[in-house]
Every structure is written in C-alpha cells, then in structure tokens.
Amino acid sequence: MAATSRKKNDFRRVLSNLLSLAAVRGLDYLVPLITLPYLVRVLGIEGFGLINYALSFALYFSAVMQYGFSITAVRKIAQNRDNPEEISSIYSETITAILLLVVASALIYFPIVLLINDFHQHFLLYAFSFCFVSAQALFPLWFFQGVEQMRQSAIISITSKFLMLAGIFIFIRDESDYYRVPMLYAVAMVGCAVFSVLWIESRYKITYKVPSLIKVKNAYREGANIFVTQLTPNLYNNSAFFLLGIFEGPIAVGFFSAAAKIIDVFNSAGIIISSAFFPYLARNRSVIPKFHKLMLIAGVLLFVLCFICSDFLVAILFSDKGIGVAYYVKLMSCGILAYFMILSFHNNGLVLAGKDKYVRLIATWTSGLFFLLGLGIVPTFGIYGAVIMLVGARVIMATWGFFFYRKYAANIL
C-alpha cells in the first residue's frame, strides 16, 4: 500500500515538474520565436544578426559560469532531498562557485570587448549580453529541479518573460534600438534571479552561508566532467554563429539564427522531458530503458514534423522577409533526433550511471574535431558549412553516446 502511494506521489511530482518545465523552457524558446518576426522587421536581418553574434560570444562565458551545475547540483539535491542541512550546504556552495566564475569571466570578457574595435563599437550590446548570461547562470533553476518543485520557479520565470515580451514591443522602435534587446533580456533575468533567491530563503528556510574554500573546490571538482561536457559543445555550437559572423557578416548570421531558433523550439521538448525526469530517474534507475524509448520516439516524430512543416512555419513567422530560411530549417532538422539521443544517452544514461568521463571524452573530441573542421568549411561554404558543423557534431555525439552507453552503462542501470 505504501509502495503504491509512493509511486502515485512520484508520478504526480514528475507530471507537475514536467508541466512547469514545459511552461518555463517553452517560453524560453517561444518568446524569441514570437518576437523574431517583429525584430527582423524593425531591426532588419542585419541588426538581428548583430544581436545574435554578440550573444554567441557571450555564451562562451555562459558555459563557464554555469559549470555544469544544472546537472551536478540537481543530482546532489535530489539525492539529499530529505536532508535540509545538506541541501542548504549544497545551495551555498553552488551559488558561491557560480559568483566566483561570473567575476572571473567579467575580468576576461570586458577587456576583450574594449580591445577589439568591432566589439567596442557596439559596447552596450556586448555589455548587456554579458549581464544577461550572468543573470541566467545565477538563476537557481537547478535548486527547484533538485527538490522537484518547479511550480514556483515557473511562476517567477513566466512573469518575467511576459514583462520582457511587452518591453520589446514597447521600447524597440527602430534600427538604433538594437542594443535594447539584450538589455531587456538582462533586466528580466536579473529580476528572475533575485526574486528566486528571496523565495528560496523564505519558502525553504535556507540561509546563505559563505562556504569554506575546500567545499567550493569540491563543487568544482565534482562538476569537472560535466563542465567540460557542456563547455566543449560551444566549440561547434556557438562557433558556428561566431565564425559565420566573422567570414560572412551579420546578414548570414541573421538567416542562420532564424533557422536555428525554429529548430531550438523542437529541441526544447527534449530538454523539458529530460530535465523533468532527471531527478526521478536518479532515484528510480529501473525506469531508464523505458525513458530512452520515449525520447527516441519523440525525437523521430518531431524531426518528421519539423521537416514537413518548415515552409508553413517560416511563412507564418517571416512572410517574404524569410525567403530561404525554410531550406536551412529542413537541413538542420536532421539534428533533432540526434539532440534527443544526446539528452537520453548522455545526461540520462552515462551520467546517471556515474560514467561522466565518457560523456566528457565524447564532447571534447567531437567538439574539437568539428571546431577545426568549421575553420575550413565555414569560410568556404558559408551557411552550409555552419549547418554541417552544427548538425554533424550532434550526430557524431549521439552515435558515440549510444555506443558508450550500451558498452559501459546499460548493465549497471
């Protein structure tokens, strides 16, 4: 009887977290999709590309600041859910570790922006982009995922997203307002992060206490493999945008970004499912094979749906300004299934089996290979080279993830 009741509670918790994450993550991708046609019309494809070029540079530092705590902190909190003192300790260690990385990143980021003339000319754009990714790193979504109470963070996040959405339509009026886009992103995310911290301290009675350096070092050490795993994809992911901007200019980045944002909406379904189930799977490993089947089926269906509906979606979003975008969406849709496989066999397979090192090796070698490949194919083939760089890396990572999971983790789980 008790076991049945526990299973029902687990199911309700997973369902609640799934719906809450769907709201949070869904808006993360839907808001840019809603604003995309307006921004392209007001700022032009070049202005839109300039914004995404700046964000692609800032996102290199975002990966450093987040340091994989979205996985390691969630795992630790989920495993200590009934121990308030330990959760408080994990919370303090994680916040401190992120703050130190934000400061270190700022000391590197801003001198680069000031020294490179093309960046310095758009200083406000790059400054607000950095503020946005810093606030994003400090937003304690990992805490809510770990305690499996996503509803509170969903309410906070949704409120900030709608305020930001209203701000874009009110304050972005002509091409000279391009720098206000990351400014609005930053203001919304800072508000989100501050309110979340206050809510956690009030609702969960957690008080931030400065941890010892040893504990912070341990947090870095425990997250090292995941950090490398999440950092190295920037070598092919953000670099696809960054290299395209260097060799082809902001217009090419604008077209590529527009297609990528549509793909991101489909990929977000995988992130939502993966994130919602991760704490549950950490405690119920016998369910993992069924979860993998769910992810593979969802990946195939969304790949087919995206490929078939790409012309229709682009026509609705961009009208005549998006001519050519649908073709790139079709090419990039091939990576949707691969992305679902990465989430399935990496985060919810090898990581849960304690085989983080294989995830790190796959990410490092694949990202390094496609970064070097991108240095040759992006200048030569332009957007096609960027597509090969992005999709090819994900396909290789998915293939190796499946192979290593079957060989080293399937029997353990």
Q: For residue 209, count other CB atoms closer than 10 A to its CB.
A: 12
Q: What are phi and psi of 149, to 5 degrees?
A: -130, 80
pLDDT at 277: 82
**Count of helix runs (H) and strand runs (E) in the chain:** 17, 0
Handedness of CA 337, 335, 231, 369 (dihedral sign): positive
pLDDT at 113: 94
pLDDT at 299: 95
Q: What are phi and psi of 178, to 5 degrees?
A: -55, -35
pLDDT, averaged per 10 consecutive residues of the chain (413 residues), comes to 58 67 70 80 84 88 84 83 83 92 95 90 94 92 79 79 88 88 91 87 82 88 79 78 85 86 88 81 82 93 94 79 80 94 88 82 89 92 92 94 83 58
CA dihedral 370, 376, 380, 383 (to 10 degrees): 20
Cβ-based neighbours of 237, under 8 Å, separated by 6 or more = 390, 393
Nearest of 370, 358, 360, 375 to residue 396 by alpha carbon: 370
pLDDT tens-digit readout, 371-392: 899 999 999 999 999 999 999 9
pLDDT at 58: 92
Handedness of CA 399, 404, 409, 410 (dihedral sign): positive
Q: For residue 36, count other CB atoms closer than 10 A to its CB.
A: 18
In angstroms, the Cα distances linking 158 to 35, 139, 155 are 16, 13, 5
